[in-house]
A = this chain, B = another copy of it.
Amino acid sequence: MREISNLGYALLGLMHKHPQSGYDLRKIFSSTSMKTYSDSPGAIYPALRRLQEQGLINGKLEEGSGLRRRQLFRLAPPGLAALKKWIRLPITRKDLLWAQQEIMLRFAFAHQVVGAAPAIALLKSLEAELKTYIPVLHEEMRTMKSSISISARLAFEFGIRGTECLLSWTRYAITTYEEEIRGGTS
C-alpha cells in the first residue's frame, strides 16, 4: 500500500470528528492554527482523491439541486486503522530531526482517536528519546564550537534550547494530562 503523506494524515485526523467536505478542510487550514498546511485546492482535492482510491475514506455527494454540490468525506475502517497505527508509532531519533511538526500533529489527534493511555505513551516515548538526544547535541556543540562563526554557533544553540524546551513541554504535558484524566471525566 502506498505511503500516506503528512497532509493525508492531517485530513484523516480532521475527518475523525465528523465528515468534512474538501472546502471545509481548506477552511480549517486557512483559518485556524493549522495554517502550516496548504489550503490550496491543488493540494487538497488530489490528496482526498488519493485517500479515496486507497479505500481510506468514502465520499458521498450531498443531494442538492445544482449539478455540482458539496461532497462529504468520511473515514472508512481502513482509514481509521491507518490513523490509529500512525499515532501509536513510537518516536525515533529521525522524527526528532525531521518531523517535530508531525509529532505534534499526531499528539493533537491522539486523545480523540486512540484515547488517553496511548496519548500518554506517545509523550513518554518522546520524553525518552529526547533524554538521550539532548546530550548528543551538547557534545556536538562542544566539538565544533571553535570552528564556526558566532552566528552559526548561536543558531546551533537555538537547536539545543528548542529541543530542551520540547522536553520541558513534554513533562508538563504528561503531568497535566494525567491530572486532567484523574480529575474531570474525559
Contacts and interface: CB of A to CB of B under 8 A. Distances in A.
A124 to B, nearest CB: 14
Contacts of A105: 155
A86 interface: no
Contacts of A98: 36
A112 B154 CA distance: 13
- Max count, chain B CB within 10 A of own CB: residue among A33, A109, A156, A162: A33
A95 interface: no
Interface string A108-136: 11111000000100000000000000000
A159 B90 CA distance: 21
Nearest to A98: B36
Contact of A108 (B107, B151, B180): B151
Which interface class (under 10, 10 to 19, 20 to 34, 35 or more) fits A? 35 or more
Q: How many copies does the complex hold?
A: 2
A140 B104 CA distance: 17
Contact of A107 (B97, B104, B154): B154
A5 interface: no
Interface stretch (A40-48, A60-68, A72-80, A169-177): A169-177
Contact of A161 (B155, B169, B180): B169
B109 A151 contact: yes
A97 B150 CA distance: 26
A152 interface: yes
22 contacts: A32-B140, A32-B144, A33-B140, A33-B156, A33-B159, A35-B97, A104-B155, A107-B151, A109-B151, A109-B152, A111-B151, A112-B152, A150-B181, A154-B173, A154-B176, A154-B177, A157-B169, A157-B173, A158-B169, A161-B169, A162-B166, A162-B169
